[in-house]
Amino acid sequence: MNLILLGAPGAGKGSQAVKLKEHYGIPHISTGDAFRSNISKGTEIGLYAKSFIDKGLLVPDDVVVGIVKARLEEADCANGFILDGFPRTVPQAEALDKITAVDCIIDFKVDRETVLKRLTGRRSCSCGGTFHVSKLKSEYCPVCGKKLYIRADDKPEVIEERLRVYKETTAPVAEYYREQGKLFEVDANLDIDKVYDIIVAKLG
């Protein structure tokens, strides 16, 4: 099963991807994680991507497509995959169509207020964990004990820019797939478990 998760930043795509990965036994491919990995390693492509990500802008299509194509060719994608954060533009979607077929695109519909509440309260850890202040007892990671931090793209001014960019460049991707008859919309304002149940009921 080849899936794509679409939706504004903070819509809950990453959280659902983790649950769907376990349920269907297929890899969760997050372009954001791939770029952060390259950034932490100080690679050339990572530093190039960072100059865009820190401003809430999109990384150029050719760079993103190349990374995704290479990832989809790995052995663990033989039985399917979950793409989270790609495609973000119609040209990226068109490029993906030339690489592989996609079975369903899940569009997470969420209110702006919900996005701001989720992202401004999000804290990250160098161990890879992500948490919300509403469920934390301290400023330290409950998994490894390291001090949590606010990602550059989770700062209020950057969030606003990310939402603007999403509306202008990524929202049209939903229409692209709607015309193909592959788009499924889900109310992402709902509780995480409810959203999961709706998606699984749809996919079977």
> Is 71 in the active site?
no
Catalytic site residue from 13, 36, 50, 118: 13
> Is 162 in the active site?
yes
Q: Is 20 helix (H, G, I), strand (E, B) or coil?
A: helix
> Is 122 in the active site?
yes
Catalytic site residue from 19, 117, 151, 182: 151
Catalytic site residue from 36, 50, 118, 122: 122
DSSP string, 136-171: -SSSB-TTT-PBPB--GGGSHHHHHHHHHHIIIIIH
Catalytic site residue from 71, 118, 123, 162: 162
> Is 123 in the active site?
no
Check whether the bond before 91 is cis (ω within 30° of 0).
no
Catalytic site residue from 36, 50, 88, 123: 88
> Is 164 in the active site?
no
Alpha-carbon span 102 to 4, nearest angstrom: 7
Taking each helix axis from N to C end, the angle separating 112-120 and 156-165, rounded to the nearest 10 degrees, works out to: 140
C-alpha pair distances (Å), 111 with each of 7, 150, 190 = 11, 22, 11
Active-site residue set: 13, 88, 122, 151, 162
